[in-house]
A and B are shown apart, each in its own frame.
Chain A
Amino acid sequence: MSKTKKVCIAFAAATMGFALTAVAAIDPIEKRSEIMKGVGKAAKPVGKMFKGESDYDAAVVAESLQTWKEAAMRFGRLFPEGTESGGDTEAAPAIWEDRAGFEEALKEFLGAVNAAIEADPQTLDAAKPTVGPVFKTCKGCHDNYRIKKD
């Protein structure tokens, strides 16, 4: 084996090791909490429109819907065994005891988001029956699968 080859292999191995470390370093508790905070942040401007506290803005609604869609698709993968507690997690034990129910609740969230994206509402009156159901799915998950720590 030439010296160059050896250096290459060593370099490749080091890169892979680094990459693996980086993958392992993703903390599911931190990540899922970050995602859920993003969901809340996206909900606030839309909620204000629904409450009549600000004017309807279809672009902002569309952006929030995309945030929620991404969250709904990633979120369910971030609750591996061993992350039941730790950090500031508000995850309830029910997520691990009733995984099917948890997945089902997330599916409802994603389904409602997809339907709203499809509808692409341009006015508040159009948004109420299409985006409104997305808001209803929040508590559909938070009733059983989240613990409030206050």
Chain B
Amino acid sequence: MGRLAAYGVALLAVGAALAWWLTAPQPFAADYLPEHTADAAAGEQIFWAGGCASCHATPVDGKRAKGDGKFRLGGGLELDTPYGVFRVPNISSHPQDGIGSWTMLQFVNAMQRGVSPGGQHYYPAFPYTSYARMPVTDVMDLKAYLDTLPAIAGVIDDHALGFPWKVRRGLGLWKRRYLTAEPVLAVTGDDSDTLRRGQLLVEGAGHCGECHTPRDDFGGLDPTRWLAGAPNPDGPGRIPNITPAGKGVSEWSAGDISYYLEAGFTPDFDSVGGSMVAVQENMAQLTPEDREAIAAYLKAIPAVP
């Protein structure tokens, strides 16, 4: 072999090693979890704030689950996206088909690092980039609550994605750019406890930005247009701008926003619609203080026309 060829091979090997290293899943260390006794009752509030059931509850007759059906987290909903079809997995307490046998650390790694117990990347259709901003104790409480929900049998088929999206390893690069536990905005104010609570709910568990913020060419959220509205991922129409420049938030009082989240009506008594119906029904389960905190945060963030 000539000297040049040897250099070439060496360079390729270094490049491959670098790519492998750059795309590696990065779970938390084994001693990451804090001392915390997980509280299932607190976890139920996280369950509603996080909207777990909106995707993971098994559809009934092709329609989204209602009532007690929201506690049957056997998965099966299909999300038809430009990348391909994502199939929502079973996260019920079933020990084999669901996540009932996961350790706390495995659960936290899934929720906040987007890494499966087998060490693979999850696709960000599962909004771990938002959940990464939750306090880890909230995530631990959530697991305690999910453990109390029914075990549902049945493994859901894997996603059907096109190339290159089906190469999970590549997500490592995407995560380097988009996965961070840092808050989106620096929020301060006279009422900073309420604002901070609202921020945790909107930027974290509530993952509002996943629909209300437009995405860039690589499918990551554009932080400069935070909550400024985006195309509807489910089809025609638009997801509204919920910054103070949007029609809703500018014309509504904080009380109007809380009432909308609680009852599902705008100040003109037009009703909530589309995929927001499921979200609103979840928000109605929160405490009035939490809905007020969300409203306070939405009133306080930068207006993006």
The residues of B that contact A44 with a CB separation of less than 8 Å are 268-269
The residues of A that contact B280 with a CB separation of less than 8 Å are 139
Q: Is residue A142 within 8 Å, beta carbon to beta carbon, of the partner chain?
A: yes
Whether A150 contacts B274 by the Cβ 8 Å rule is no
Q: Is residue A43 within 8 Å, beta carbon to beta carbon, of the partner chain?
A: yes
Whether A142 contacts B269 by the Cβ 8 Å rule is no
Q: How far is the CA of A46 from the CA of B259 in the complex (A)?
A: 15
Whether B229 contacts A139 by the Cβ 8 Å rule is no
Whether A142 contacts B271 by the Cβ 8 Å rule is yes
Whether A135 contacts B265 by the Cβ 8 Å rule is yes
Of B21-29, B154-162, B237-245, which binds chain A? B237-245
Q: Mark A20-46, 1 if CB is under 8 A from B, else 0.
A: 000000000000000000001001101
- For A40, A139, A144, which residue has the most chain B Cβ atoms within 10 angstroms? A139
User: Across the two chains, which residue of chain A brings its CB closest to B264?
Assistant: A139
The residues of A that contact B278 with a CB separation of less than 8 Å are 143
Q: How far is the CA of A118 from the CA of B237 in the complex (A)?
A: 38
Q: Is residue B277 within 8 Å, beta carbon to beta carbon, of the partner chain?
A: yes
Whether B277 contacts A143 by the Cβ 8 Å rule is yes
Whether A149 contacts B237 by the Cβ 8 Å rule is yes
B-side interface size class: 20 to 34
Q: Mark A35-73, 1 if CB is under 8 A from B, else 0.
A: 000001001101100010000000000000000000000
The residues of A that contact B64 with a CB separation of less than 8 Å are 143
Q: How far is the CA of A150 from the CA of B251 in the complex (A)?
A: 14
Q: Is residue A148 within 8 Å, beta carbon to beta carbon, of the partner chain?
A: yes
- For B236, B269, B270, B275, which residue has the most chain A Cβ atoms within 10 angstroms? B269
Select one of A40, A101, A150 contacting B240, CB under 8 A.
A150
Q: Is residue A107 within 8 Å, beta carbon to beta carbon, of the partner chain?
A: no
The distance from the CB of B260 to the nearest CB of chain A, in whole angstroms, is: 11
Q: Mark B212-230, 1 if CB is under 8 A from A, else 0.
A: 0000000000000000010
Q: Mark B248-292, 1 if CB is under 8 A from A, else 0.
A: 000000000001000111001111111101101000000000000
Q: How far is the CA of A149 from the CA of B63 in the complex (A)?
A: 23
Q: How far is the CA of A148 from the CA of B280 in the complex (A)?
A: 15
The residues of B that contact A101 with a CB separation of less than 8 Å are 63
The residues of A that contact B235 with a CB separation of less than 8 Å are 92-93, 147
Whether B229 contacts A146 by the Cβ 8 Å rule is no
The distance from the CB of A45 to the nearest CB of chain B, in whole angstroms, is: 9
The residues of A that contact B237 with a CB separation of less than 8 Å are 90, 147-149
The residues of A that contact B277 with a CB separation of less than 8 Å are 139, 142-143
The distance from the CB of A144 to the nearest CB of chain B, in whole angstroms, is: 8
Q: Is residue B168 within 8 Å, beta carbon to beta carbon, of the partner chain?
A: no
Whether A143 contacts B265 by the Cβ 8 Å rule is no
Select one of B247, B270, B274 contacting A143, CB under 8 A.
B274
Select one of B265, B272, B273, B274 contacting A47, CB under 8 A.
B265
Select one of A43, A47, A51, A147 contacting B236, CB under 8 A.
A147
Q: How far is the CA of A143 from the CA of B278 in the complex (A)?
A: 8
User: Given A142-B277, A143-B273, are A148 and B259 also a contact pair (CB < 8 Å)?
Assistant: no
The distance from the CB of A44 to the nearest CB of chain B, in whole angstroms, is: 5
Whether A149 contacts B238 by the Cβ 8 Å rule is yes
Q: Is residue A124 within 8 Å, beta carbon to beta carbon, of the partner chain?
A: no
The residues of A that contact B229 with a CB separation of less than 8 Å are 150
Pick the 3 closest A-B CB pairs, nearest first: A142-B273, A138-B271, A147-B237
* Pairs A–B under 8 Å by Cβ, sample size 8: A51-B259, A92-B235, A135-B271, A139-B280, A147-B235, A147-B236, A147-B274, A150-B241
In addition to A44-B268, A147-B232, 9 A-B residue pairs with Cβ atoms within 8 Å of each other are A40-B269, A47-B265, A93-B235, A138-B265, A139-B264, A143-B278, A144-B63, A147-B237, A150-B229
